[in-house]
Structure formats: structure tokens, C-alpha cells
Structure 1
Amino acid sequence: MTTLGVEEEYLLVDPVTGLPRPMAVEVKAAAGADEVTERGEVQRELLQAQVEVATPVCAELAEVGGHLLRLRHAVAAAAEDAGCRVLASGAAPVRDGQGAPVTPERHFLRLRGRRGRLVDEQLVNGMHVHVGIPDRAAGTAALNRVRAWLPLLVAMGGNSPMWCGQDTGYASWRTIVESRWPVSGPPPEFADDADYDARMRLLVDVGAIEEVGQVAWEARLSHRYPTLEVRCCDVQLTADDAVMFAGISRGLVATALREEADGVPLPDVPQELLNAANWHAARYGLDGHLIDPPGRRQRPAGELVGALLDHIAPALDEHGDTREVTGLVERFLRTGGPAGRQREALADGGLPMLLDLLCLRHAGR
């Protein structure tokens, strides 16, 4: 059984105006004291208006969902006690020119000194799925195969259409914000794990980044755990949507590992095409057509989602995830992607309804 775990980042805001509020210390303290959280599951993030939660290592998707609901409830309750709200939005829907102060920890402050204004504007939140791998060699081989599917996950997971009080026209504005960092976007192809490690060292040696943890590729080998980390999706509105992407991510990695073992030829996906497909996915989400990098053409978004499910079907069966994932995908497509749901809420009830949609207390399942 391939293990997995999920990290989610959330935004702390004023309960009325929706403006970011630097309340992470208070919220983390309150959530950490709650009996439903355990040590290390609620963490501070780069900015003081953000918090992060991390599930334990899980074997079943039901475990992932249970932990996410527990942690979402704990953080939402702690935020209310502290006088703010916590939002599951990929980007701050409203903000002022001040941004949010940096968390006063040494590595965060160093990053602010090196990256300047980029850090001030990093009011974006993602979800990261850690999928267990046998070793770094297998993980690198899997990464080479998973990368072609990342734009589709970006399109499906876009939950950040609003920024500074305006509709950006993008499904995932977070993807655009993240693309401004020195090492970001879809990862390149690697010869093997030695090549992967050598290129990480080179980036640090030339001063492009200060540590390998600053590699912001949309999928990478974790520098802390024996996992392949899929990190291309915005944080999701609901725990169910997060579980869906966790199951898809595990299916992709497990399929990649099996194909590598079976000697299936690696898809030829030029980096420039993958980058273009990623931008296109962030812009349009599931509306209309998406670029299929291996097929080198545009295809209807729904058709590509079907191709994804076909691709990972044996892995879903192997892990007992078929019914859960296919059912969640069907519901997801019926209700529309989260970017569309944000726009509908704003059109129907203005900012108050949008904040209600995004609030963890209401998002729940």
C-alpha cells in the first residue's frame, strides 16, 4: 500500500472586511491546545496571516478525509476564538497595499531580505500531497512521468480567481504568483536521481536559492520525507475535494512507478510546451479546451479528465480507491471547479457570500 499525507495552507482574515490579518500566533496557539490536534499538525507559514496543517501519514483515503475534517474544524474554531476567520482560498480575495508581515523566524526573515516584494505578496495557499516512494531513484523516474499531468491538475484545482478585490480572469492566480519565484512551475526531466541531486546542489551553489526547500516546482522529491510531493493545486474549498486530489496524486505516482518497472516508454514532453500548458490551465481552468502536452494538441477539458481516470484506473483499483475517487470526480464536475463556485458566490451575494463560501467553518465536506 502506497502511503500518503496532505498539507493545506489557509488564510486568516478579518471576519467582516475579508482583509488578511496577522493572527497566526494566536490561532496556532489556540488550535494546538485543542484536544483534537496533535503536536506539529498546525504550523505557521511564511506570512503571519497564514497557517498550515499537515495530516499524519495515511494508508487510506478515508484516513486523509477524517484528519482534514478534524484539522479544518480545529483551525476554524481557533480562528473564531481569536477574532478572525480562516479561508480555504488559493489567494487572498481582498487585500490592501500593506500585505501581511513576515513570520519572525530566521529562514522566513532571510527569505524576505533576498526576495523583497515577492514575499509581501505571497498571500497564496496551496495543498501538497506527499506520496510514498520506495527510494529516490524510483521517485525521480516517477517524477519524469507525473510531470505531463500537472497542467490538468492545475486546471482542476484552480481556486484563486480573486485578487485585490477583482476577478483576475484566471482559475488559478496562485499559479501565476508562484511562477515569479526563481525555481518554479513544472519540473524538468531528469536523467536519474544523481542528476536530480546534482541540479539541486547547483542551484544552491550558484546562489539561485539558499536551500533545496526553496525549489517551488509543482512536483518534486521531498527533502524531508521519502515522498514525491505533488504541490500544483490551490488549497481546496472542501475536504472532499482535497481527498479527491490526494487519491488522484497517489494514482499518478503508483501508475508511474508501475510503468517504469514495466519499461513503458517515457512521454516526450518538451519543457516549453509543458510550461505553456501550465499557463493555459491556470488561465482557463476547466472552461473549454486544455493543452494535452503528450498529445501535442488541445482537447476538451472533460475529455482530458476522462483520460486521466483511465490512465490511473489500475492503481485506483489496487488501492481500493476507485469508487471514492470516481464518485468525487463526478460530483466535482457536476458542481464545477472551485474558481467557478467563487465567481457564482460573488455574483449572487457579493463579498459576504464569497467569504461564507471560503470559510472553513462552512466549507466542511
Structure 2
Amino acid sequence: MGPSGITLGVEEEYLLLDAGTGLPSSRASRVQAAADLEPVLDTDEVDNELLQAQVEVATPICSELADVGGQLARFRQAVGGAALRVGCRLAATGGAPLSSGDAMPVTEKQRYRDMRTNAARLVDEQLINGMHIHVAVPDQEAGAAALGRLRPWLPVLVALGANSPYWDGRDTGFASWRTVVFGRWPVSGSPPYTADAATYEERVGALVESGVIRDRRQIYWHARLSDRYPTLEVRATDVQLDVDSAVTLAGLVRGLVATGLREAARGAPVLDPPGSVLQAAGWHAARYGLSGDLVDPTRGRPAPARDVVGALLEYATPALDEHDDAERVGEGLERLLDGGTGAVRQRLAMSGGGFPTLLDLIAPAPGAS
């Protein structure tokens, strides 16, 4: 928690595509080595991911959304340049649009090798990339309470962040195919309601004790308390096509967490939709994005996406005002509603020029607007 408000940080995962074919390329180690030579990057700022066709970056702790935007722009420019030097394109898309059918090698970590052994085909299909937004919380007690209050709005975040309509050379019919692929893990989707740290630990402990997951790191809910940082981590959205959309969602998530912290502190009533309804709402959001209705979490009934997003913005606005984020987040949401999510823009690119135009959209040359 910073002196001027709640701090935050953003992690982005990117896909590496062969510069010639557009197919996923297992050159993560070469990209990392090239990135270490970039003057604007510190050594080891580019991390590996499960598959060797992916890399991940993480901003420092930020107080202002402008800082988040500057850091993400720096990463995309520098890592994109490093990728080009080793024959790759850095793609900001939630799922690989093309595939050769060959399994990508996992990164050489024992944990990742074990995951392939235990869930072979599922690991092969993890050519998906998300954005993880970490928002500082005072302690586990406050974080668990804020998580319980953020929970009803997670499907709306899925819809806003949808950016993965293509997979294996075809249109999936979904706005966020990444959400569907990631939902195949045993612990995924919206988390159960938690009012406090004890309840949260009880839920997590029961899952680990079941033996179905190996450890707490395989809790893949759309939002969870981080085991590495004193943060509430929201993982509901695909990685975004552009920095502005990423900053919009990061600011909105901070506003939601801040709202949850405030409500919990004053004992406000809790909105607690049934888990089955949230599961269905999340699937629907992944299917349609903002192109149709969304499930209104306050009523459990369908409503126009614009109305549900408007209700979410209204709910978070007092906290957004406190951080001077209301104007930037509000304008960013209007752009997503009017201009379309990443999924809409990907489909427009495909219809306008096929896969070459789509690849230019999701993996632009560094410095391209």
C-alpha cells in the first residue's frame, strides 16, 4: 500500500511466433538472451513460462496508471525487438491462432516436466496468454474479504478482456478461447465465496489435501490471493492487444479491489451469487465477449453488455475517483464497448486481409502504432 493509494503491478504473457510462418516457435531462451542486451531492460526482466514458445514480463510496483502504461510499453518495444533478432514475432494474443500440430517443449524446470507427465495433452494446449493484475492488500484477512466482494464481477472482466478468438487455424466461435482452455484444469474459473482469511485457507487447504492438485500454485481461479506477494491477483483476462486496453483493465481491477476493501471494512452487505451461476456467466462471457448480453450479477439475469459494464463502472467509481483513475478507465471502457475487444478487432483483421493481416495486428513490429 503506497502513501498516495493502493499500489499495483501487471504481468503479461506473450506468444513467440516464427517470423516467416506465424507458427508458435520454441525460442524463449534465445529471446531472453537477446533481451538481456537491450539497454532499457534489466537482466532477467524477461521470464520464461510453461512452454518454450512463451515469455512473461512483470512491471515493478506502480502507484499510477501512467507508470503501468509506461512499463508495459517499454517491455513490448524492447522484447519485441529482441524477438525479431532471433527470427520471432512477439504476439499479444490470448491464444495461438495457428498450430503445426506438434507439441511445444516445456521449459526445463522440474515443475513443468511433472505437469507434462501428469496432464500431457492439456499441457500441450497451453499456448494461451493472460494478463495478471496484482493489487496490494493490507493483509490476508482484508484480501480474502475483498476477493469475496470482487468475485461476482469476474465474468464481466472475462468479457472485457476477451482477445483469443482463433485457434488451430480456425475461428472458435468464442471471444476468449483461452478461458475455455484454461478452464480444463481442475481448479479454475470463479473462486468460491470467502469472507475472511480462515475461510480462504480452508478452501485452499481442502483442495491441496484432496491430492488432485500438487500444491497451492495450481489454484487457477480467475482471482486468488498471491502466495508470493501481499496482493490480490486477478487472472481473468486474456493478454491485451494494446497497452491502453491493458491499463484500462488494470485500473478497473484496482478500483474493484479498493471497493471491496472499503465495503469489508464497514461491513456492507455482500453480493454472493451461486457458484453455478458464476460458472455459467463466465462461460457465456468467454463465448460472446461484449457482443451480446452478459449476466447481471446483481440480478442473475441477462442484460445488455453495455448496461452491465456501466453498472460495474458505477460500482467502482468512488474508488476510481480516489486514485484519479475515473476518467482514464471510463474512456478506456467506452473504447472497448464502441471499438470492440481484442477478439472483435482480430476478427475484423482476419476478414480484411486474412492471416497476414491478423498477424500484423497481434504481433506488430516494435514501434508500430
TM range (shorter): over 0.9
SS at match of 2:365: helix
Aligned length: 365
For the pair 1:103 / 2:107, whether they are aligned, the reply is: yes
SS at match of 2:199: helix
Q: Which residue number corresponds to residue 88 of structure 1?
A: 92
SS at match of 2:192: coil
Contact 1:31 1:42 in 2 (8 A): yes
For the pair 1:75 / 2:79, whether they are aligned, the reply is: yes
Q: Which residue number corresponds to residue 147 of structure 1?
A: 151
SS at match of 1:86: strand
Contact 1:65 1:240 in 2 (8 A): yes
Q: Which residue number corresponds to residue 346 of structure 2?
A: 342
For the pair 1:197 / 2:198, whether they are aligned, the reply is: no
Q: Which residue number corresponds to residue 64 of structure 2?
A: 60
Q: Return the letter of the residue paired with 1:289.
A: D
For the pair 1:248 / 2:270, whether they are aligned, the reply is: no
CA deviation map 1:67-125 (0-9, x unaligned): 00001111100000011111000000011211311111111111111111100110000
SS at match of 1:299: strand
State how far apart, in whole Å, the 1-side matches of 2:88 and 2:81 are: 10
Q: Which residue number corresponds to residue 26 of structure 1?
A: 30
SS at match of 1:361: coil
Contact 1:130 1:230 in 2 (8 A): yes
SS at match of 2:36: helix
Q: What is the CA distance between 1:362 and its match in structure 2?
A: 5.8
Q: Which residue number corresponds to residue 276 of structure 2?
A: 272
Q: Which residue number corresponds to residue 301 of structure 1?
A: 305
Q: Return the letter of the residue paired with 2:311.
A: A
Query: Please, which of 305, 313, 319 is the counterpart of residue 315 of structure 1?
Result: 319
Q: Which residue number corresponds to residue 10 of structure 2?
A: 6
RMSD: 1.2
Contact 1:79 1:86 in 2 (8 A): yes
Q: Which residue number corresponds to residue 132 of structure 1?
A: 136
Contact 1:44 1:52 in 2 (8 A): yes
Unmatched segments (≥5 aa) in structure 2: none
Q: TM-score, normalization: structure 2?
A: 0.97
Q: 1:40 to 1:195 in 2, by over 3 A?
A: farther
Q: Which residue number corresponds to residue 237 of structure 2?
A: 233
Q: Return the letter of the residue paired with 1:189.
A: Y
For the pair 1:169 / 2:173, whether they are aligned, the reply is: yes
CA deviation map 1:5-56 (0-9, x unaligned): 0000000011232110000000011112212112442100000000001000
Contact 2:76 2:366 in 1 (8 A): no
Contact 2:32 2:44 in 1 (8 A): no
CA deviation map 1:300-355 (0-9, x unaligned): 00011111111111101100111211122222222111101000100100110000
Q: What is the CA distance between 1:364 and its match in structure 2?
A: 6.2
State how far apart, in whole Å, the 2-side matches of 1:333 and 1:355 are: 23
For the pair 1:328 / 2:332, whether they are aligned, the reply is: yes
State how far apart, in whole Å, the 2-side matches of 1:316 and 1:359 are: 31
Q: What is the CA distance between 1:196 and its match in structure 2?
A: 1.3
State how far apart, in whole Å, the 1-side matches of 2:311 and 2:21 are: 42
Contact 1:12 1:23 in 2 (8 A): yes
SS at match of 1:9: strand
Q: Which residue number corresponds to residue 222 of structure 1?
A: 226
Contact 1:237 1:363 in 2 (8 A): no
Contact 2:77 2:366 in 1 (8 A): no
CA deviation map 1:198-238 (0-9, x unaligned): 32222222211111111100000001000000100000000
Q: TM-score, normalization: structure 1?
A: 0.98
